[in-house]
């Protein structure tokens, strides 16, 4: 197992992953959970404000009991508000360990618009009790514009950093419009590469549908796997989100589903969909390690529509991932 998203091994820290029970504690409201592990503790960062803080941080020792333990921003950064004056919050964080630091990418936008920005903030540690815990905002990474002579056909939200076994880095992103895109990243800075300025296309549902977002790329054995969310988010118990997956030989694609249909032609193999108890699972992230893989995602209570954090273990069979099932009870 290559561990592009995992931390470097911590001496003396050993953990094992078993089939997970339902999560408890501070698990709602949580959208778009980004999961990572430092030492013997798990961390999740999310879209929703919690205790009036932007990009709340949640901690767990066992992946089951979670508590609110910190936050990244007190509000939308000034530079992002200048770019997106109508922004009311920060969306879809993505967290990784790279070049000796934690890198958290985030998006700022407004609903229904592709005038959006992705920013980057860094930290030496994820432990809020450490004296080294301090987020340092690095500002703009990429912007998409809805106006101008040639408006962009992509949306710069839902960032996801990809680290290859050889050390190259890529940023996947995108929501609706022309689908999921990717740009090369300078490993030293975490910003866009000046050497490769090409905008790569990974997946789309055009022309018949546009509802595709939340990319997350994992390297497993000989393939890169692109996880995405299809259909409608953020409608409470009426949400129709579902998690889909395809794979490719290279991070830039081409990605195909289990039946061989290209994801650039609307392809995608169903990984998880809702049930009567929990609707619209999606906004997924994955932590890979030698002990096993886990997937964090949100789903909506089938009665009151609240968004809550869910965790599944991922196993692999015949070259494809299989999650532990979505809970069927509250």
Cite the active site residues: 32, 213
By DSSP bridging, strand 223-230 and strand 212-220 are antiparallel
- Token readout for 104 is 């958290």
CA-wise closest residue to 15 among 80, 62, 73: 62
Burial class (CB in 10 A: 0-12, 13-18, 19+), 261: middle
By DSSP bridging, strand 242-248 and strand 65-73 are unpaired
- Which residues are CB-neighbours of 129 under 8 A, at least 6 positions away? none
CA–CA distance, 170 with 218 (Å, rounded to integer): 12
CA–CA distance, 232 with 146 (Å, rounded to integer): 22
CA-wise closest residue to 39 among 125, 134, 147: 125
By DSSP bridging, strand 54-60 and strand 65-73 are antiparallel
């Amino acid at each position: 197992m290559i561990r592009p998203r995992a931390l470097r091994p911590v001496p003396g820290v050993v953990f094992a992953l078993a089939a997970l029970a339902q999560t408890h504690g501070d698990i709602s409201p949580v959208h778009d959970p980004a999961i990572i592990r430092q030492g013997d503790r798990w961390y999740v960062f999310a879209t929703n404000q919690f205790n009036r803080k932007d990009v709340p941080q949640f901690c767990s020792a066992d992946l089951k009991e979670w508590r609110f333990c910190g936050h990244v921003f007190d509000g939308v950064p000034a530079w992002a508000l200048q770019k997106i004056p109508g922004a009311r919050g920060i969306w879809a964080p993505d967290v990784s360990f790279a070049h000796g630091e934690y890198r958290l990418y985030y998006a700022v936008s407004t609903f229904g618009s592709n005038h959006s920005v992705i920013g980057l903030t860094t930290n030496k540690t994820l432990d809020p009790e450490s004296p080294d815990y301090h987020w340092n905002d690095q500002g703009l990474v990429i912007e998409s514009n809805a106006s101008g002579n040639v408006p962009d056909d992509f949306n710069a939200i839902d960032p996801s950093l990809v680290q290859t076994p050889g050390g190259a880095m890529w940023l996947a992103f995108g929501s609706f419009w022309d689908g999921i895109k990717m740009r090369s990243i300078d490993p030293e800075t975490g910003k866009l590469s000046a050497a490769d300025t090409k905008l790569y296309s990974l997946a789309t549902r055009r022309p018949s549908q546009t509802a595709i977002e939340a990319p997350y790329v994992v390297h497993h054995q000989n393939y890169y796997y692109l996880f995405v969310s299809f259909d409608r988010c953020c409608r409470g118990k009426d949400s129709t989100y579902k998690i889909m997956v395809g794979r490719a030989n290279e991070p830039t694609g081409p990605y195909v589903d289990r039946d061989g249909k290209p994801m650039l032609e609307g392809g995608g193999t169903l990984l998880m969909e809702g049930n009567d108890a929990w609707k619209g699972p999606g906004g997924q992230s994955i932590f890979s390690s030698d002990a096993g893989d886990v997937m964090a995602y949100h789903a909506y209570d089938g009665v009151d529509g609240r968004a809550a954090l869910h965790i599944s273990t991922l196993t692999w069979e015949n070259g494809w991932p299989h999650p532990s099932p979505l809970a069927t009870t509250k």
